[in-house]
Amino acid sequence: MRLSPSTVRREYPDAVDTTALAVRDNEPELRYELTRGGEVLGFINYRRDPQRGRVELVHTDIEPAYEGHGLGSLLVKGALDDLHQRGLRAVPYCPFVRAYLRRHPEDA
């Protein structure tokens, strides 16, 4: 899933160059990844609960060199958008994801 550069610039004007950022679901590793040119900049680990139609988001991590630039929020938004498109419910066990949803209830 490609992230819209205009959305990124509007929400995170001091963010790193985002033109090549993408969020992908790495199902074998049970994690969403934020990538740039194939390099993983951060991830959200998750657990599947297919019987309940949900995915439990358990831990978010951004590479230290990229912290503080809004990339964690971009990763969470991309993961939530993908889950919604697939008709799955996100369960935010991760404190970072919970904080994101408090700031952006429209993404819940």
Please, which pLDDT band fits residue 73 given cuts at 50, 70 and 90? very high
Going from N- to C-terminal start, the domains of the chain cover 5-107
Give 21's strand partners.
36
Give CA–CA dist 37/35, Å, rounded. Answer: 6
3-class SS at 53?
Answer: coil
> How do residues 22-71 score in pLDDT, each as one tens digit?
999 999 999 999 999 889 999 999 999 999 999 999 999 999 998 998 99
CATH no., domain 5-107? 3.40.630.30
